[in-house]
Chain A
């Protein structure tokens, strides 16, 4: 295990150390102390590292991540794991706005609540939220799965494309072109796999599925109000 103290080396010191490691490095496990809410910690990683961050982080933690597995032992700020490509970002606490924004792949787990715009424009990432998500979550979501074990705020899945949304609790309201859809065997299998990966005890059959009505794909004057 290797340790880095952000108070001593700063965000650049942490990131340049982690980014200098070759993909086949044997120094896989890194612990980061004193994150103090600083932004852009452990961004752009491209190696199968295991990283534990001890404390609360600021914005964009784990952004653009490939291969690495990050655990944030605290809360996370805005844009956690934004544009993640692969790997895992795991938040033990809550996460602020736009968690997993534009993520292409990998798994983002938030044990607590996520705020507004969780999974905005997601493009293939899987997101599992143990608590609730705020308004405008999965806005313009294109691909991937968003699983919410608590409730969802207003305008869930507004202008959604092909992402799949699963919510166990209440949905305050659905956004334009987002509808409830039938839960089929393949969806239950996806849910089971992802809940297991996120260490969740919820039953897949307790969730409801939401997705695109596909009415806004092409302009139709009948839907002018919804654009």
Chain B
């Protein structure tokens, strides 16, 4: 099972309502995935000299100030932290690899769940409605958002095993389906130096994309290569800095539907998630065809 949903606003006037418009979409997918939920929202871009990190810790009362002060001192950079639920948005002038290395060395319990200039990732076990409330997403403004409701199959119900998974700067992946060759692929990606936090299959797909993109592939090329190398059933939704991309495996038995109006583009596992959007009744609605990479907003 699992449900995936995405909303991209074409009409900039709707930006303040992004969180409100998206809420019924992800909640409608609750019975496809009641174990955990997560979203990647694209908002508040930081300066070119800065990087924005989404960090998570199992302890909801974790003192993020320690990160702020410690990083500034160690890397001689500027930092701000904002606690949201058991996550924290860290904005820093520190260089990304140095920040990640410092966190790993000094605060190994802190997980980096996303990074880039605009992306913020929030994910947690529990019902989508509770997760949505926990991270104050109702009032969130932004340009686009993707989300996932998980019914765990191949690995444990944990926050780390929740989607979305980061795949590089401002990129993340949500997945409906299951991969059958993820163990072997994980081993070969480990040899390339990729790091894994879980036994989850989607994390392997995310690492695969990251590795391809680092190697110079475009997102479209990475997804097309994935059709050859990732064995299993999947519909992928990839969030990018300025839009999203959708691709389905050749058999395409994991549902997917898309809809577009003058104001928005939406993608969901089932149409009922889209039905709540204003103008959905008269939207252009279609089913993404297998193996075709569909993209919105960005240059994939």
Interface residues of A (CB under 8 A from B): 36-39, 55-56, 58-59, 74-75, 77-78, 93-94, 96-97, 115-116, 134-135
Residues of A near B294 (CB, < 8 A) are none
Q: B250 — nearest CB in chain A belongs to which residue?
A: A135
Q: How far is the CA of A161 from the CA of B109 in the complex (A)?
A: 59
- Is A38 a contact partner of B255 (Cβ separation < 8 A)? no
- Is A96 a contact partner of B287 (Cβ separation < 8 A)? yes
- Is A59 a contact partner of B285 (Cβ separation < 8 A)? no
- Residue B179 interfacial (CB < 8 Å): no
- Is B286 a contact partner of A96 (Cβ separation < 8 A)? no
Q: Which of these, B253, B273, B276, B285, contacts A75 with CB under 8 Å?
A: B285
Q: Which of these, B252, B253, B272, B290, contacts A37 with CB under 8 Å?
A: B272
Residues of A near B285 (CB, < 8 A) are 56, 75, 93-94
Residues of B near A58 (CB, < 8 A) are 270-272
- Is A39 a contact partner of B287 (Cβ separation < 8 A)? no
Interface residues on chain B, size class: 10 to 19
Q: How far is the CA of A151 from the CA of B180 in the complex (A)?
A: 32
- Is B286 a contact partner of A97 (Cβ separation < 8 A)? no
Q: A115 — nearest CB in chain B belongs to which residue?
A: B287
| Interchain nearest-CB distance for A5 vs B (Å) | 14
Residues of B near A37 (CB, < 8 A) are 270-275
- Is A56 a contact partner of B275 (Cβ separation < 8 A)? yes
Main secondary structure of the interface of A (DSSP, over half): loop
- Is B274 a contact partner of A96 (Cβ separation < 8 A)? no
Q: How far is the CA of A94 from the CA of B271 in the complex (A)?
A: 13
- Residue B257 interfacial (CB < 8 Å): yes
- Is A116 a contact partner of B252 (Cβ separation < 8 A)? yes
- Is A56 a contact partner of B252 (Cβ separation < 8 A)? no
- Is B281 a contact partner of A55 (Cβ separation < 8 A)? yes
- Is B286 a contact partner of A77 (Cβ separation < 8 A)? no
Pairs A–B under 8 Å by Cβ, sample size 5: A36-B275, A37-B274, A75-B285, A96-B257, A116-B252
- Is A39 a contact partner of B272 (Cβ separation < 8 A)? yes
| Interchain nearest-CB distance for B111 vs A (Å) | 35
- Is B270 a contact partner of A94 (Cβ separation < 8 A)? no
- Is B271 a contact partner of A75 (Cβ separation < 8 A)? yes
Q: How far is the CA of A36 from the CA of B276 in the complex (A)?
A: 8
Q: Which of these, B255, B281, B287, contacts A94 with CB under 8 Å?
A: B287
| Interchain nearest-CB distance for B176 vs A (Å) | 13
